[in-house]
Structure 1
Amino acid sequence: MNSESAILFTQCLQNDFTSLLDKYDPLPNSLHIGYAEANRLLGEMVEDGPVFSLMDWAYEKDPKQLKLIHIRDWHDPKSKSQEDHLLQFGEHCLMDTKGAEFVFQSWIEENPNRAEIVNASGLNDFVDTNLESILKPYKGKSIRVGITGVWTEAKVTFLCYDLKTRYPEFEIAVCSALTASSSLSMHFIALDQLKQILGVNVFSSIGAFTEFLTGDQPNLKKRISTNARIASDKLNLDPKYPITDLDKQILLYLFRDCKEVECKTLDGGFSGNVVLKTKSIDHLGHLQVPCVVKIGNRDLIAKERTSFERIQEVLGNNAPSIVDFCELGDRGAIKYRYAAMLDGNVKTFQKLYGTMLDGSGLDRVIDTVFGEQLGRLFEAASTEKLNLLEYYDFQHKYAKSVRNRVETILGSPQNESTIEIFPGHIVQNPCLFYETDLLDLKEYNAISHNTSYVHGDLNGANIIIDAQDNVWMIDFFHTHRGHIIRDLLKLENDILYIFCKIETESEWNDAIVLTDFLHNQEDLGIPLSFDPPREITNEKLKKAYRVHRKTQIVLS
């Protein structure tokens, strides 16, 4: 009787499917996942990439704790039964050839008895294989199963389906970083279907995936001490923003090919996240292209990575590229490279806004963000059913906290239908909106709205302008397919209610006029007039109006 607590499958992690290629090399066969996906799966430096990190972890586990099953395509070109398969997909993974070898072949050779190898000659891994007999001891048992490999929409999905139907007691999981397909779009479509249709657990984080199986994660510290060329005293950090020792270890790993790194903090402290612009020198003395590193909670950073991967092919050079990522303990990091960012001062949209007298200098930035960058996503918009109240998180459950805040600000109970927020300014009571109105306004049948991929959190700190006036977006944690004007609304909210600080009664009165004017705009597709309402005399509110108007014009 076997006593393993978990099973790890690898699916078709073979040279003919996943070997690294140079960018413009021809594909070795029709089933190879291609340069970009192979690079994402194996990493720019294979010995530190996702698959090798997983194998290093798996082969160190006690066989009683983790059962390893490697499924490989294994074809006999002389077999009549395989003739149709090879005719349809072309020759690949022919038995005893280099193309049929695992990309982690060294572990197989050094540990010949550690894993079960299943030779599959078709799309179903249970047909004409020994897989059913290998799994027989586990039938009827509640056991955790992890699946890695390629293709996500084919062999990985087929294996998940077979296991789910044959062994319903199994708890199955896949990891986005450890599975791949012919394209990122097909990869993510398949992951969404695995989650929604088969109920498979889909992890963004490698560490979360391995913890699901055995309770621990790959030992990054061992690889830092083995591979890093940089000494800790050559890690020049921003003295104004001290970081933890754990985050320093992460930086040592991300810059393991360097001999010196200078870090400037762009953002730090919020929710434990740290954003650094880096200037690094490799071990040969070459100045490397500047990068931006974001460090934060491991699982949230992993989610941001996969959210960004969903759109990076569309944005192209208008967005950064992920050159590395790592996880250590409960922390994770992404290393972004920006195609045209050079050395020099980097400013956020919010800081640049503060230096502009009338806001007209921001027109080019807004054109770039909404027209050139996000516009690529918006062009693929489609109508989908969407409950906007739920989507924008207007929920009855917030009623108590809203009432507490309103009554704390006003200093008395507020039970009337209206409240006076300032002498002479009466508005509807937001307490009652959350307590009663939301129940009546609930959408029981979602209405179709325009949707596309959106950044999801386009605030003033997530747009940066480098010294060459290149415009970039950062922080893709909230990227998703959603309401097409979400990014517009988020940035406008920042402009009106965060950038524009109200400090006098006169400014308050002008702010009320501006707010009423914008609320009375019934159709966002009709451009606002160039000049703000005549009643507004304050220059900071005029600037807010002009920038607000510009964002609407670009999007419409």
Structure 2
Amino acid sequence: MPAVLLTQSIQNDMVAPIGRFDPIPNKLHVGHAEALRLMGENPAEGPVARTMRWAQRQPDAALRLIHIRDWHDPSDPSQRSHLELFGEHCLQHSEGAAFAFPHDPGDKNVAVVDSLTLNDFVGTQLEALLEPHRGQSLRVGLMGVWTEAKISFLAYELRTRYPEFDLAVCSALTASSSRAHHFQALDQLRRLLGVRIIDSVGEFIDFLGSQTGDDAPLVGLSPQLPIIEIADKDGEPATLVLAEVDSTLIRYLFRSCRLVRLRVLDGGFSGNIVCGTHSVDLEGQEQVPHVIKIGDQGEMGRERACFERVQDVLGNNAPSISDFADIGERGAIKYRYASMGGSFSTTLQKSYQAGAPAAEIGRVLDLVFGEQLARFYKAAILESVDLLDHYMFSPRWADKVRARVERILELPAGSPLAAGETLEIRPGVTVANVWRFYAHTLGHLPRRPRDQAYMAWVHGDLNGQNIILDAHGNVWLIDFSHTHRAHVLMDLVKLENDLLFLWTPVADEDELRRGFALIDALLEVRDLAAPLDRAPEAVAASPAMARAWTTLAKLRSFYPPLIHSDRDPFQLWVALLRYAGHTLSFDEAGPLQKLWALYAACRLSARISESLIASTRLRVDFVEPAWAGAGRVGLTLLPGRRDYGRDLGDDLATLRADGIGRVLCMVPRDELERYGVGDLLDAYREAGLTALHLPVVDQKASSVADMDQALAFIDAGVQAGEAVLVHCVGGLGRSGMAVACYLGKQGLDAAEAIARVRGARGPRAVETAVQEDFVRGYLRTQ
């Protein structure tokens, strides 16, 4: 059964190259940037031309080729409204209506469909061309413009008329005037119509089924030039040996050059080749620096698509894609660094390990997180997400984790010591077994099914080797193959993990135990927006550990504007465990570094387990009394909040079991509705609880009159010997403010009252400066 390739409006008026500052020739031209991406710098050698040359070589029995073109007659009254709306374009027999690719079908039977409207089935022979294939599971590929309009409309018609067709769109061979609209349309095609989105030209050709056994031809490739040289790496002999297919890809990407010299850039263990280049063109002129990346064609296609999504956001500190190609099973991308100052000098990891001063490391981190990636993070949105799923935790990894534990602790395979409740990492150092977290906790403990976390576009695989410094100290990012929307802290946490377990040397057992102390101190941080305290004494005594702590403090200084009021460390623990666990298999980490990472993973898994267990039962934290008598005052989060998967009936039963007799609710009604407990006040009364509703806007303070009423309500319960519950949504800010004011009225000063609330509920209680100021001001008037 043949496949079908449908091209959509790949015509000069739509995609012909234009200069960056040239006016758009008509309303439907995709513009300079998208035309360049789609057609290439030389359209005769670009991805569309290469794909067309391949398609025209395929036998008709294997591939039917159908070109859909806009073909307008300005004298036709029926087309007048379309031309008035979009302006004159693709007028029949004009140069603008001509195909923008080499159209030389030879003996191949190529159909051309003249489309007059946005619907390519109206008034055309397209339905008749496809009718013989009705009912068949035909593979149909789409390429052309506009992704959000003509391509999407065509895909919709095909899906509804021929639901059995297997539809695919190649992201590299489609375009719109807006890159954002292009990718949004691709996402919609995948999600709503079930269309395959293929990022690699080679994989798209494979989908269509190459019957000639070849790939899209590398047009312009010279068999001799350029000469490829591999430079020494850091003064040592280069070890890179290029396969023939990789050499071919390099010669194609630098086909206008006489010489290209490669310098290997370290980065990961994926098997990909990443090199900086120094190239000389055919006239002997040096070209601007480039980075080439060669790997699996599917992976390279995904990286190109990921980078294209975010290229405009990153600005001048990111490269541009100069060219790309694939052949066989390999693909390559050529990144241009036009404004780079000199050649590649070093990476952040090498600079840190060479002893760069804290000020220089801080400068680089400011540029990366305060400027470049901050453009992603500023658009973060608070979303419902299961963080354990998000970071790909699953019981299926348990066997691999156990095998890593056995190797690191030098235990025989299958040793029962690796499957116990605890592990003795070192004599006298016993921790919870991270393997049991994977094997048992993940499978048996209920999670908080709808955690909330801020999500944004992230680099996705940030490490010290893909942050590059040029000869002038400018900072550049490479390797965007994992760029996607994710937890906003992902990049920072990934770099923190590498800083500890890859960059920081662990010379001996004493240093290892100082590393354990560093992890212990980090686990005591309960407020992610608070600056890190001074390094603990054991950490400060080691220059390497103290330096790591200083750098960690810098990394965490970027947290507050990213997480806003979401300061709970649970999100950090989950992310750190993901990367610490991954480090256990890294070749780059030394034996003591892996022991350090194992210790961290075990401690983190225990904290996460404790948090998950605590989340299943409503926890009321009672403050230490500042009054005589049996009455008690406690704080908790919003009972029954649906975004945490809580059950209001269960939470009310817990309150009764804790002896709660009266409840002060400080949550406005619109927030109660938002969290799925609009009937909470009625539920309190039906459960026999005395309830007072004094709403306060989140993060804000109450009025003095409302606070007077709230404290009178609390005091009445305390004097009667009751247990009084005060809550807002998180049980921290508004409720903490009220309880601190009550403690102050019992004789504590403001600082003591706030400290006592935080001692019971955690350091984030009395959450904002506005609330702290209210407590101080209110108590001054009492």
Category of TM-score, reference length = shorter chain: over 0.9
Amino acid at match of 2:298: D
CA offsets 1:338-366 (integer angstroms, 9 cap, x no match): 13224345211111011126533201100
Query: Are 1:480 and 2:476 matched, yes or no?
Result: no
**Cα contact 1:353–1:362 (8 A) shared by 2:** yes
Match of 1:60 among 45, 57, 60: 57
Equivalent of 1:149 in 122, 139, 144: 144
1:280 shift after superposition: 0.9
Report if aligned partners of 1:359, 1:544 keep a CA contact under 8 Å in 2: no
Q: How many pairs align? A: 548
With over 3 angstroms needed to count, the CA separation of the structure-2 counterparts of 1:76 and 1:113, relative to structure 1, is farther
Task: State the Cα distance separating 1:327 from its structure 2 match.
Answer: 0.5
Do the aligned partners of 2:276 and 2:344 also contact (CA within 8 Å) in 1?
Answer: no
Match of 2:44 in 1: 47
* Counterparts of 1:339 and 1:241, CA distance in 2: 26
Q: Which amino acid aligns with 1:481?
A: R
Aligned-pair CA distance for 1:76: 2.0
1:209 counterpart letter in structure 2: F
Q: Distance in 1 between matches of 2:225 and 2:31?
A: 36
SS in 1 for 2:558: helix
Aligned residue in 1 for 2:331: 332
Does 1:428 pair with 2:432? yes
Q: Give the Å deviation of 1:516.
A: 0.9
* Matching of residue 366 in structure 1 with residue 359 in structure 2: no
> Which residue pairs with 2:537 in the alignment?
534
**CA apart distance, 1:535:** 2.6
Instruction: Identify the match of residue 171 of structure 1 among 163, 166, 175.
Output: 166
Residue identity in the other structure for 2:430: I
Tell me, in whole angstroms, the C-alpha distance in 1 between the residues paired with 2:100 and 2:213.
19
Q: Provide closer, same or farther for how the CA distance between residues 367 and 107 of structure 1 changes in structure 2, counting only shifts above 3 A.
A: same
Give RMSD over aligned pairs: 2.0
Aligned mates of 2:114, 2:532 — CA distance in 1: 66
* 2:393 aligned partner: 394
| CA deviations over 1:450-470 (Å, ceiling 9, x no partner) | 111100000111111111101
Q: Are 2:222 and 1:235 aligned? A: no
Query: What is aligned with 1:92?
Result: 89
Amino acid at match of 2:321: I
CA contact (8 A) 2:59 2:108 kept: no
Matched, 1:194 2:189: yes
Equivalent residues of 2:58, 2:211 under 8 A apart:
no
Say which SS state the counterpart of residue 170 (structure 2) adopts.
Answer: strand
Alignment match, 2:416: 413
- Structure 2, unmatched stretches of 5+, are 232-237, 561-782
The 1:272–1:406 alpha-carbon spacing in structure 2 relative to 1, beyond 3 Å, is: closer
Deviation at 1:231, TM superposition (A): 2.6
2:44 match: secondary structure: helix
Distance 1:217 1:320 in 2: 36
8 Å CA contact 2:50–2:218 kept in 1: the answer is no
Off by >6 Å, runs of 4+ in structure 1: none
| Amino acid across the alignment from 2:14 | F
Aligned residue for 1:296? 295
Partner of 1:83: 80
1:267 maps to amino acid: D
Map 1:481-520 onto structure 2 (within 5 A): 481-520=485-524
Q: 1:158 to 1:512 in 2, by over 3 A?
A: same
The residue type equivalent to 1:310 in the other structure is: R
Cα 1:120–1:442 shift into 2, 3 Å: farther
Q: 2: distance between equivalents of 1:439 and 1:221? A: 48
1:322 aligned partner, one-letter code: I
Kindly tell me: are residues 445 and 89 of structure 1, through their superposed partners in 2, closer, same or farther at Cα, counting changes over 3 Å? Answer: farther
Alignment of 1:217-366 (within 5 A): 223=218, 226-228=220-222, 231=225, 234-238=227-231, 239-267=238-266, 270-356=269-355, 359-366=358-365
Which secondary structure state, in structure 2, belongs to the residue aligned with residue 343 of structure 1?
coil
C-alpha contact 1:230 1:257 (8 A) present in aligned 2: no
Distance 1:409 1:284, change over 3 A: closer
Structure 1 residue 553 displacement after superposition: 0.9
Q: Distance in 1 between matches of 2:341 and 2:558?
A: 28
Q: Identify the residue that residue 464 of structure 1 maps to in structure 2.
A: 468
Shift of 1:430: 1.1
| Structure 1, 316-325 or 339-348: larger mean CA deviation | 339-348
Q: Which residue is equivalent to 1:138? A: 133
**CA separation in 2, counterparts of 1:374 and 1:442?**
35
| 2:598 counterpart residue number | none
Q: Residue 126 of structure 1: CA displacement?
A: 0.8
Secondary structure class of the residue paired with 1:286: coil
The answer to whether the 8 A contact 1:321-1:338 is kept is yes
Q: What's the % identity of the aligned pairs?
A: 46
Q: Normalized against structure 1, the TM-score is what?
A: 0.94
Name the CA shift for 1:538/1:5 in 2 (closer, same or farther; >3 Å).
same
Distance 1:430 1:62 in 2: 57
C-alpha change, 1:218 and 1:480, in structure 2 (3 Å) is farther
User: 2:54·2:216 contact (CA, 8 Å) conserved in 1?
Assistant: no
| Distance in 2, Cα, partners of 1:207 & 1:398 | 32
Q: Which has the higher mean CA deviation after the structures are superposed, 499-508 or 26-35? A: 499-508
| Offset from partner CA, 1:494-520 (integer Å, 9 cap, x none) | 001111132212112211111011111
The C-alpha deviation readout for 1:262-303, integer Å capped at 9, x for no partner, is 111113893321111111111111111011111111111111
Structure 1 distance, partners of 2:136, 2:443, is 45
What is the deviation of 1:385? 2.4
TM-score normalised according to structure 2 size: 0.68
Alignment of 1:446-457 (within 5 A): 446-457=450-461
For 2:430, what is the secondary structure of its paired residue? strand
Q: Which residue of 1 aligns with 2:21?
A: 24
Alpha-carbon separation, structure 2, partners of 1:161 and 1:509: 62
CA–CA distance in 2 between the matches of 1:395 and 1:501? 31
Q: Does 2:103 align with 1:107?
A: yes
The residue type paired with residue 15 of structure 1 is N
Q: Name the CA distance, whole Å, in 2 between partners of 1:223 and 1:512.
A: 55
The amino acid across from 1:388 in the alignment is L
CA distance in 1, matches of 2:481, 2:198: 15
Aligned partners of 1:228 and 1:257 also within 8 Å: no
The one of the two structures with greater contact order (alpha-carbon pairs below 8 A, sep at least 6) is: 1
Gaps of 5+ in 1: none
Q: Distance in 2 between matches of 1:221 and 1:71?
A: 21
2:6 and 2:66 in contact (8 A); partners too? yes
Change (3 A) 1:479 1:347: same
Aligned AA (2:489): I
Q: 1:358–1:543: 8 Å Cα contact kept in structure 2? A: no
CA contact (8 A) 1:174 1:201 kept: yes
Shift of 1:188: 0.8
Match of 2:384 in 1: 385
CA spacing shift, 1:235–1:278, aligned 2, 3 Å: same
CA contact (8 A) 1:92 1:100 kept: yes
Distance 1:502 1:217 in 2: 56
Aligned twin of 1:206: 201
SS in 2 for 1:92: coil
